[in-house]
Amino acid sequence: MDDKNFIKINNLSKNFDDVVAVDNVNINIGKGEFFSLLGPSGCGKTTLLRILAGFEYPSEGSVSIDGSDVTDIPANLRPTNMVFQNYAIFPHINVKRNIEFGLRKEKISAEEVNQRVSEALKMVKLEGYENRFSNQLSGGQRQRVALARALVKRPKVLLLDEPLGALDKKLREEMQIELRNLQRSVGITFVFVTHDQEEAMTMSDRVAVMNQGKILQVSPPRELYDFPVNLFVGDFIGDINLLNSEISNIDGKNVKVLINGIGEYTIQAHTIINQNDTIVTGIRPKSINISSNDNKKSDIQVKGKITNTSFYGNLTYVYVSIEGVDKALMLSTAESLQGLSINSDCYLNINLKDIRVIKKNDP
Amino acid sequence: MINTWRKLFSKHESIRAYTLLSPALILVILAMASPLLLMVLTSFHTQVSMMEIDSTLTLDRYADFFSRPVYSTLLFRSIKISFLVTLVTLLTTYPLAYYIAFYVKKNKMLWIVLMTLPFWTSYLLRVFSWRVILGHKGVINSALMFSGAIDEPLSFLIYSQTAVVLTLAHAWAAFAILPLYVSLDKIDKSLLEASYDLGCSKFQTFWRVTFPLSLPGVIGAILIIFIPTVGDYVTPQLVGGTDGRMLSNMIQSLFGRANNFPLGAASAVLMLLSVSFVALVVTYITKKVSLRMS
């Protein structure tokens, strides 16, 4: 066992009657890693997490944690703890007793229990809330109790099932940072399930994108954003302009594509493209430059017309329609739009290195 | 006139509330509160002769009650039998309610209806059918005699406290299942998962999470069964024999053949007080115990 393979998920599948919830998943998660499972609802990410927790048993495949096979070990005997989506704080006992709930099973002195509980309360900044009950806490506080209750057990792996979903935006962003800091300071491996790509991107060391029970890509956030393996990942992660394209010629990594509305260019692909693949080309909004004149300073220049703008404070999103393309291209700029407004003509500058050839089919 | 009323009506929420409540309120006052008061009042009177009651206030009837041991004996027996009935009912219906709440996935309502189906028949019919089952020549005794397990009928089966407890427990089962089921069904399943996740076995989870959270239902069931069964006099009359006689049978005869209304009223008041007291104590203990367990 090495630290890179702290959690090993091998050929894991789970069927519910005829429905395949998890389809032949293989993932290795490193020790102390913040790992996210990201996907739309119903993609199987929660089922996968529940298999890791021991609430569901896989139909096929195995799971091992820290070198020992836990596939058939029930939830109460696993070195994992979970933070539930609705927090699952026991309503009949107070915060302190919620947190020490799991410690009763461990053979430690009452003194140590108290010490560990107060440490945990301090860690989640809930000192003084010992005697409160669940219905006297806010959503954010409940979530902290759930975290403390799980972490006080000192699990090898902490599983989090969309724990921030029920919080409002501001609190959610605060908790993202706090959770990340907490994870770094305790050094426990976190497996985090979310459908919010922003959340996964800002917090994780690596993200696994799931759809229909399959893992499509496992990468660090930056790589996921810059080099999506297929259309689903590219479209799911961040904003992207997708243009219908056709392959004209393939020469190793260099793919000559005819991009709808833009022209024919040779682009270096980041995945292996075969002649019979169907593809689109993708350009991130930040990679398109806009100017009011045609002083060419990039590989490609296209003329267009601004159809809409939306101001987001630090960024402005501009929508530009170009001839031959149905959907207006979206671009973001941090600069002011000197002289440009809705309906004005403009020029878009794009560099070839920013264009991605993306497969429509699975990798 | 109508306008002032309308104004008052729209202005004050309490007037609207009492107007809505008034039919129920009137019924409760006429049919519950006033007879109860009348009974308490009667318990301070004296029966002089067949038709005549002396309405000078006196505590003598209460003294009568405590000076004759048979009354206290019957009171304690009533409480004991009801307590046993409550216990038996809870022990038998809790698992059923638990099963429906946690294991039945489809058609829960159908299960509930099936559980309560026997209770659609008359109470008397059900008591009589227990006589058929428990009697000297009943189903159980005949079967045992036929198989040679016993030579003569088991005498404790009918006309005994056992018979009363069994019959009452069966009669009131439906009333226990419903509150138990409701409180169990309401429990968030993720709480149980959280308990497993924190290291508890299924058994420990039951005592530390499920049971404490089902307490409102348990207490509801206790009160619903305990209170009315103490006062039941039909079942002890039909299957209880002398051994199974309860205070309520005595009260019935005091208002009937024995013709001592004031003493009957005093007995009823004392029963009311003891039942309330026992119910409160049981509720309190159940709460305390379950908190300690979790």
Render pLDDT for A201-252 as a digit per residue (tens, 0 to 9): 999 999 999 999 999 999 999 999 999 999 999 999 989 999 999 999 898 8
For residue B108, how many other CB atoms are within 10 A of its CB?
Answer: 13
CB B240, CB B164: distance < 8 Å: yes
Report d(CA B136, CA B133) in Å as an integer: 9
For residue A207, how many other CB atoms are within 10 A of its CB?
Answer: 28
Q: Residue A2 — pLDDT band, cuts 50, 70, 90?
A: low
Strand-by-strand arrangement of the A279-283 sheet:
A263-268, A254-259, A241-251, A279-283, A355-359
Query: What confidence tens digit (pLDDT) does each residue in B173-231 have?
Result: 989 999 999 999 999 999 999 999 999 999 999 999 999 999 999 999 999 999 999 98
Interface test with B, best of A80, A92, A98, A145 (most B CBs within 10 A): A92
pLDDT (mean) for B78-99: 95
Stretch (H or E) spanning A65: strand A60-65
Helices (H), chain A: 45-53, 95-99, 110-123, 139-151, 169-186, 197-203, 221-226, 231-236
What ranges do the domains of chain A cover?
A: 3-228, 239-359
Query: What confidence tens digit (pLDDT) does each residue in A111-134 have?
Result: 999 999 999 999 899 999 999 999
What pLDDT score was predicted for residue B139? Answer: 87
Which CATH code of 3.30.360.10, 2.60.40.420, 3.30.70.980, 2.40.50.140 fits the domain covering A239-359?
Answer: 2.40.50.140
pLDDT (mean) for A316-328: 90
CA distances for B254 relative to B188, B238, B247, B249, angstroms: 51, 19, 10, 9
What's the gap in Å between the CA of B108 and the closest CA on chain A? 21
Structure tokens at B229: 């069964």
Contacts for A362 with CB less than 8 Å, ≥ 6 apart: A214, A216, A230
Q: Residue B135 — pLDDT band, cuts 50, 70, 90?
A: confident
Is residue A94 less than 8 Å (CB to CB) from chain B? Answer: no
What is the number of CB-based contacts under 8 A between chain A and chain B? 67
Residue in this structure with the two tokens 């699990």, named with its chain if needed: A155
- The partner residue sitting opposite B200, judged by closest CB among A54, A97, A105, is A105
pLDDT (mean) for A13-27: 93
A279-283 vs A355-359, strand pairing mode: antiparallel
Residue in this structure with the two tokens 């995945």, named with its chain if needed: A271
> Residues spanned by CATH 1.10.3720.10 within chain B?
70-293
CB B198, CB A101: distance < 8 Å: yes
pLDDT greater than 80 at residue A324: yes
Q: Residue A62 — pLDDT band, cuts 50, 70, 90?
A: very high
Structure tokens at A123: 């860690």
Q: Residue B10 — pLDDT band, cuts 50, 70, 90?
A: confident
Report d(CA B286, CA B4) in Å as an integer: 52
Q: Identify the top-confidence range among A33-37, A285-289, B243-247.
A: A33-37
What pLDDT score was predicted for residue A362? Answer: 66
CA distances for B203 relative to A121, B192, B214, angstroms: 28, 11, 15
What is the C-alpha R_g of chain A? 24
Is A90 within 8 Å of B196 when comparing Cβ atoms?
Answer: no
A34-38 vs A206-211, strand pairing mode: parallel
Query: What confidence tens digit (pLDDT) does each residue in B267-294 have?
Result: 999 999 999 998 889 888 888 877 776 6
CB A281, CB A268: distance < 8 Å: no
What pLDDT score was predicted for residue A277? Answer: 87
- The partner residue sitting opposite A81, judged by closest CB among B198, B201, B204, is B198
Strand partners, A64: A8, A69
pLDDT greater than 60 at residue A1: no
Report d(CA A165, CA A239) in Å as an integer: 21
- The partner residue sitting opposite A105, judged by closest CB among B199, B212, B215, is B199
> Which architecture characterizes domain B70-293 according to CATH?
Orthogonal Bundle (1.10)
Classify B13 as helix, strand or coil.
helix
> Which architecture characterizes domain A3-228 according to CATH?
3-Layer(aba) Sandwich (3.40)
Query: What confidence tens digit (pLDDT) does each residue in A209-218 have?
Result: 999 999 999 9
